[in-house]
Amino acid sequence: MSDSRPRISKAVIPAAGLGTRFLPATKATPKEMLPVVDKPAIQYVVEEAVTAGLSDVLMVTGRNKRPLEDHFDRNHELEEVLLRKGDGSRLARVQESSDLATIHYVRQGDPRGLGHAVLCAAPHVGDQSFAVLLGDDLIDPRDPLLERMIETRERYGGSVVALLEVDPAQVHLYGCAAVRPTAEDDVVEVSGLVEKPEPAEAPSNYAVIGRYVLDPAVFEVLRRTEPGRGGEIQLTDALQELARNPALGGPVHGVVFQGRRYDTGDRGDYLRAIVRLACEREDLGPDFRDWLRSYVTEEL
Ligand code: UTP
C-alpha cells in the first residue's frame, strides 16, 4: 500500500464517455455539459470537489473537449459586455466557473472504458491517493459524501467506494458490492465487486455510485486489467482485484450514502433532477412550483 497519510488534494473527473443514452444532444456536446437548471452538470461536480478540499482537478476528456475547457476558462468578451451593462450578478455567475479550481486536462484517445479513463490520470496523479467523481452523479451539496470517504481512507488506508442501497431489481444497472459490516454504521468492508450483475449473481443490493477515493495502487492493477463487460476496461474489475488482494493496495471500504443523489446520465432521472432542483431554488422555485402544481392538477 502506498501513502495513507498526506491529505488528498487531487480529483479526477472522467468526461470522455460517448453519452449514447442522450443522443442526439451529445452528438457534439459532452453529456457533462448538459444543463441542470442553469449550470452544466459538471460544474456541480467541480464545486463538490472543491468543497471537499480538492482544488487540483484533472478532467479526462474526449473528442468533444472544447466546450468543457471553454466553460472553465475566462470569457473576456462576455465579461466586458456584462461589465459595460453594469450587470454585476450575471458577471459574477460567468466568473464563478473560471475561478473555481485549477483545472488540468488529459485526453483519452479512445473511450475504452472508465478504468482506462482513470488510468489516463496516472501521470498527473503520481503516487498519491486521489478522488474520482463521475459527472453523471449529482450529490446534493447538503448531504456531503466525499468528505466522509476521505475520512474513511485516512482511517483505514486503501480505497473507498460510495454505495447506495437500491431496489434489487435495479442492481443490474450498477456495479454491486459484497460487504461485511464494520464498527461504523455507515462504513462497510468490501470483499468483492461485480459489474452490472444478473439478479441471481448480485451479492447484495449495495450499488456502487460515482464517487471513489483510490489508492494509487489501482493504476498498476488497471494496467493489466483486460477489457470486461461491454468490451471496456472496467474500474469495477480493478477494484475487485484490490478487494480480493489487500496486499496490493490496502483494503476496499464502502461508505453507505443515504443522502440525495440525482443520476443525470439517465434521461428520466435527469428530468427529475431538474424539476427537484428548480423547485428548491430560491429565485426560481416559488413561480415554478405554482406552475408545476397547476400543470399536475389540470393537465395530467
Ligand atoms: P458511462 O458508463 O455513463 O458511459 O460512463 P457513457 O459512454 O458516458 O454514457 P452512455 O452509457 O453511452 O450514455 C461513466 C463515466 O465515465 C466516463 C463518462 O464520461 C462518465 O462520466 N467515461 C466512460 C470515460 O471518461 N471514458 C470512457 O471510456 C467511458
The CATH number given to whatever domain includes residue 226 is 3.90.550.10
Residues 258 and 272 in one domain: no
- Ligand 1: atom nearest CA of 111 is 28
Answer whether 116 contacts ligand 1 (Cβ < 6 A).
Answer: yes
For residue 79, count other CB atoms closer than 10 A to its CB: 15
Residue 282, CA distances (Å) to 51, 275, 277, 285 in order: 21, 13, 10, 5
Grid cell locating 274 = 431538474
Residues 274 and 211 in one domain: no
**Residue 167 buriedness (CB in 10 A; 0-12 / 13-18 / 19+):** exposed
pLDDT reported for residue 58: 97
pLDDT reported for residue 77: 93
Name the residue of 64, 114, 229, 269 to mutate for ligand 1: max ligand atoms within 8 A of Cβ: 114
Residues 113 and 253 in one domain: yes
Phi and psi of 209, rounded to 5°?
A: -110, 175
Residue 5 lies in a domain: no
- Rounded Cα gap, residues 85 and 75, in angstroms: 16
E strand residue ranges, 10-88? 10-15, 35-36, 39-40, 56-61
Residue 1 lies in a domain: no
Grid cell locating 234 = 472496467
Where the chain has pLDDT below 50, the residues are 1-4
Residue 134 lies in a domain: yes
- Ligand 1: atom nearest CA of 16 is 25
pLDDT reported for residue 152: 97
7 alpha carbon – ligand 1 mean position (Å): 28
Calculate the CA dihedral of residues 185, 187, 193, 197 and round it to 10 degrees: 40
Answer whether 111 contacts ligand 1 (Cβ < 6 A).
Answer: yes
Range of the domain at 65: 10-265
**Atom 10, ligand 1: residue with shortest CA distance:** 19
Q: How many structural domains comprise the chain? A: 2
Residue 3 lies in a domain: no
Residues 211 and 294 in one domain: no
For residue 270, count other CB atoms closer than 10 A to its CB: 21
Answer whether 104 contacts ligand 1 (Cβ < 6 A).
Answer: no
Residues 126 and 187 in one domain: yes
Residues 94 and 178 in one domain: yes
Residue 130, CA distances (Å) to 4, 189, 264, 286 in order: 11, 19, 23, 40
- ω before 14 within 30° of 0 (cis)? no
Residues 94 and 166 in one domain: yes
2 alpha carbon – ligand 1 mean position (Å): 28
- Rounded Cα gap, residues 143 and 140, in angstroms: 6
- Rounded Cα gap, residues 47 and 262, in angstroms: 15
Residues 295 and 220 in one domain: no
Grid cell locating 9 = 488534494
Residue 176 lies in a domain: yes
Answer whether 228 contacts ligand 1 (Cβ < 6 A).
Answer: no
**Atom 4, ligand 1: residue with shortest CA distance:** 17
pLDDT reported for residue 6: 65
Report helix, strand or coil for 11: strand
289 alpha carbon – ligand 1 mean position (Å): 33
- For CA atoms 170, 173, 174, 179, give the dihedral sign: positive
- The label of the residue with cell 464563478 reads 96
- For CA atoms 126, 130, 134, 138, give the dihedral sign: negative
Please state the length of the chain.
300
Residues 243 and 141 in one domain: yes
Name the residue of 12, 18, 138 to mutate for ligand 1: max ligand atoms within 8 A of Cβ: 18
**Atom 9, ligand 1: residue with shortest CA distance:** 19
Grid cell locating 34 = 448538459
State the pTM of this model.
0.94
Report helix, strand or coil for 224: coil
Residues 278 and 261 in one domain: no
Residue 196 lies in a domain: yes
pLDDT reported for residue 228: 87
Q: Which candidate, 251, 231, 237, places its Cα nearest to that of 189?
A: 251
pLDDT reported for residue 57: 97
Residues 289 and 216 in one domain: no
Residues 220 and 71 in one domain: yes
